Chain A
Amino acid sequence: MLSYILRRIVATLPVMAIVALFVFSLLYIAPGDPAVVIAGDQASPEDVERIRQSLGLDRPFLIQFGSWVWRILHGDLGTSIFTNLPVSTMIGQRLGPTLSLMIVTLLLTIVVAVPLGVVAAWKAGSLIDRVIMGFAVFGFSLPVFVVGYMLAYIFALELEWLPVQGYTPLAQGFWPWLENLILPAVALGCVYIALIARITRATMLEVLQQDYIRTARAKGLGQGGILFVHALKNAAVPIVTVIGIGIALLIGGAVVTESVFAIPGLGRLTIDAILRRDYPVIQGIVLLFSFVYVLVNLMIDVIYTLVDPRIRY
């Protein structure tokens, strides 16, 4: 297993290199110029040119790319054109809120979606099944920002139970940390709860038709044991796969959620960097995200072996 993990990690290097080249090239040919944004609305073309020179943006593509890759290889993601702060510092400042949001959303999703899917499969065709699947359609259909605004209006403005916006680090207490994340996690989690509930239901329906389930029932095993110990465990591989894909999708969803709830996370950093053409920051974040994607896939492969002993690498 260890050698497999090492092989997979080594295999990520060419992937990351291709991502790096792709991102750098894309930004190079993309319209827009950070020097123009920095110079402001009243700047003269000479001012803009001078700023371009000071940022090294007037140098040929290959020199810029080579210099960037050299720094990356030395562990330096560069410095933001606008804030003059190291990109790694900026990412570090934003990692906590995004990670918090993703963890709470993921836990909420699993805790809610898997039981819903199991119950829907158990009661397939009943009113309960239809209600759950109706909720799933609802969750799929509503955009994150609409859910976000609705939740903020009801639970923050009207009921005054939770804050509208912001983020409090875990270091300042568990409840202050959690209360800022409840509404964003619910808003962001809706679509994933719907997705995973549907997948769980479909997979469970298939598993519940298997002979060994009939045998378990014949042996007099309780319904809970059959559903959650025998059936769910064998339905876990596709569910874990979807949860893994969901983690990757959460990164995209976090961009909107962080804007709606003013959470200072990586999503907002990404948007700000793109709008300002802050190339080093965009490059750093895309590299990080692509690394996370690769890592999540690796983790899913490892988890397969834990939930299904037949799988060996």
Chain B
Amino acid sequence: MDRRTVLKGLAGASGLALTGGLSAPAIAQGAAARTLRFVPQANLANFDPIWGTQYVVRNAAAMVWDTLYGVDSSLQPQRQMVESEEVTDDGMTWTFKLRSGLKFHDGEPVLSKDVVASLTRWSARDPMGLMIKALQQELTAVDDRTFKLVLKQPFPKLLYALGKNNSPCAFIMPERIAQTDPFKQITDYVGSGPMKFAKGEWVPGAKAVFEKFADYAPRQEKSSWLAGGKQMLVDRIEWVVMPDPATAAAALQNGEIDWWENPIADLVPVLKKNKNISVDIGDPLGNVGSFRMNFLYPPFNDVRARRAVLMALSQEDYMRAIVGDDTALWRPLPGYFTPDTPLYTEVGGEILKGKRDLDAAKKLLAESGYSGQPVTCLVAQDQPITKAMGDVTADLLKKLGMNVDFVATDWGTVGSRRAQKTPPGQGGWNMFHTWHAGADCINPAPYTAIRANGDKAWFGWPTSAGTEKEVTSWFEAKNLDEEKATINRLNKAAMDDVVYAPTGFFLSYTAWRKNVSGITKGPLPFFWGVSKSA
């Protein structure tokens, strides 16, 4: 073997690896204006919206799969794939008829059997779906376009459940795909939505591509969130995953991308100065910051210790730590439900209002019997929101005289450790931080975090009989007035028992190039109605 042989071999091997299997479609110059390049909030690591409940999966899935109903911007479910529905006077038998002309991306018609299989799979994973499943007596296809749902008792929130935008949505898939075990991923991504998923171009962690579905039959109504006519004005949408916000900001300024879903607050001033970029609030439903205390072990098994923390907690400190000094991005939240939505209430939230009373909080903490034992506080450092909140909480607890065991870790570890019910010194915990999408906090249906049924509740396992009673009442409420009255009582009960500590309500921006138009505010990026000029 001589030097030349070695060099030739290396060059050959390199060239093979560089050119093979990596081809991506070249986009013609003229097609650039028909291609929208979008930076999503996170990596599209899987593409099964029932199996994987991450928001980013839901956001992509909303283009590819359609729903029977769609919730509009007034949070009301509107017909989407459904043409009409009938319900018996007792509210227990629903008969639905599908619109004619609906087709899947493989050219097959959408039939009732597809709906039955899809709803069956969805109802195994979705909290509202599980409730429907528990009440379900029969779900059958009557003919190709008609299907029937018979319940054991009325479920007034049925249409909302079928059209909600909370993950997992009730997406309709072909029967052969929907028959997949709900705890296993699908591998075929055929839907009937306005865009097709280009599976061959998918590079998880880097890129996902969606192409316009020519045979999609949009409704005639104006689009509003998941409802109305989903008119696609671009032919191709490329999702480009960018883990580094500074890179995404530079790429947007440079015109290499068209729309960045959620720029971080620190970079927004730079983007606002650029004359080619528009910046606005993306999701008016925002997010609710939270930390949860473990009801199983001292000190937070005593409601006085939980209340003491709430008495001393300054939501402004938390919000400024998360979003900085932009006051347009946050507001205090003396309650559990999303501001500016029909059920928002502050009843019972007095404990979070007004000047913070540290002395009274210390006194109440002492009454709870707290005597200096370590308080294990889990803080994920790789999530800017939880890191910011964790630092504020550590300071708060120290001011209260608590002995803080600050566990700085990553989100994956928090996710695993928070499920441990063992005592804090043996792998368990006393508190952890998280946040909830405001869209999940508009009512109790998708709001797992508000549930307080002890062992069956979300991490922290809160017990609050008053809260649970009102959750049940809300599901039975017949109109908005009844719902509001129920939520007032629910909010008070949850605040009294401190189901969790809300740290405030915060919003985030979205940013796009000015040659892009039609972007609307909503809980997810809606691509219908969005166009791009050259």
A→B interface (CB under 8 Å): 1, 31-33, 36-45, 47-48, 50-51, 54, 80, 82-85, 90, 92-97, 99-100, 103, 149, 152-153, 156-157, 160, 163-166, 168-172, 177, 259-262, 264, 268-269, 271-272, 275-277, 302-303, 306
**What are 10 A-B contacts defined by CB distance under 8 Å?**
A31-B417, A42-B458, A80-B204, A93-B21, A94-B203, A99-B18, A152-B250, A164-B247, A261-B247, A262-B243
The reply to whether B45 and A82 contact each other, CB–CB distance below 8 Å, is yes
Residues on B lying within 8 angstroms of A by beta carbon are 1-3, 6, 14-15, 17-24, 26, 43, 45-46, 48, 51-54, 125, 127, 167, 181, 183-185, 187, 203-207, 240-244, 246-248, 250-251, 253-254, 256, 382, 409-413, 415-417, 419, 434, 436, 440, 446, 448-449, 456, 458
Q: A43–B256 Cα gap in the complex (Å)?
A: 37
Q: Is there contact, CB below 8 Å, between A171 and B410? A: no
Report chain B residues within 8 Å CB of A269. Answer: 205
B233 to chain A, nearest CB (A): 25
Q: Are the C-beta atoms of B251 and A164 separated by less than 8 Å?
A: yes
> In the complex, A99 Cα to B20 Cα: how many Å?
12
Sort A-B residue pairs by CB-CB distance and give the 4 closest, nearest first: A264-B206, A40-B53, A32-B412, A36-B415
Residues of A close to B256: CB separation below 8 A: 163-166
Are A306 and B6 within 8 A (Cβ)?
yes
Q: Bound complex: CA of A285 vs CA of B34, how far in Å?
A: 37
- Chain A, residue nearest B13 (CB): A99
Known pairs A42-B440, A172-B26; A277 contacts B412 (CB<8 A): yes
Contact B254 A42 (CB under 8 A): no
A99 contacts B3, C-beta separation under 8 Å: no
Contact B410 A32 (CB under 8 A): yes
Total contacts A to B, CB within 8 angstroms? Answer: 171
B2 touches A260 (CB 8 A): no
Residues A152 and B22 in contact, CB atoms below 8 Å apart = no
Contact B52–A172 (Cβ < 8 Å): no
Say how far A304's CB is from chain B's closest CB, in angstroms: 12
B110 to chain A, nearest CB (A): 25
Flag if B413 contacts A31 (CB, 8 Å). yes
In the complex, the answer to whether A85 meets B254 with C-beta atoms within 8 Å is no
Beta-carbon contact of B23 and A171 below 8 Å = yes
- Interface of A, secondary structure class, is helix
Tell me if A262 and B412 are in contact (CB < 8 A): no
Answer whether A83 and B46 are a contact pair too, CB < 8 Å, given A42-B449, A96-B18, A170-B19: yes
Having A44-B458, A276-B412, one finds 19 other A-B pairs with CB under 8 Å, namely: A1-B1, A32-B410, A36-B419, A41-B434, A42-B167, A44-B448, A96-B20, A153-B250, A165-B256, A166-B251, A171-B22, A259-B247, A260-B246, A262-B248, A268-B243, A272-B43, A272-B243, A275-B411, A302-B6
The verdict on A262 contacting B415 (CB below 8 Å), with A51-B183, A169-B19 known, is no
Contact: B53 with A264, CB < 8 Å? Answer: no
Residues of A within 8 A of B184 (CB): 54
Partner of A93, one of B15, B22, B243: B22
- Is the beta-carbon distance between B250 and A157 smaller than 8 angstroms? yes
B254:A157 contact, CB within 8 angstroms: yes
Determine the chain A residues whose CB is within 8 A of the CB of B14 once the complex forms: 99, 103
A187 to B22, CA, bound (A): 24
Known contacts A157-B253, A164-B251, A262-B240, A54 near B434 by CB under 8 Å:
no
Would A83 and B254 count as touching, CB distance under 8 A? no
Chain B min CB distance to A211 (Å): 27
Q: In the assembly, what is the distance between CA of A152 and CA of B252, in Å?
A: 13
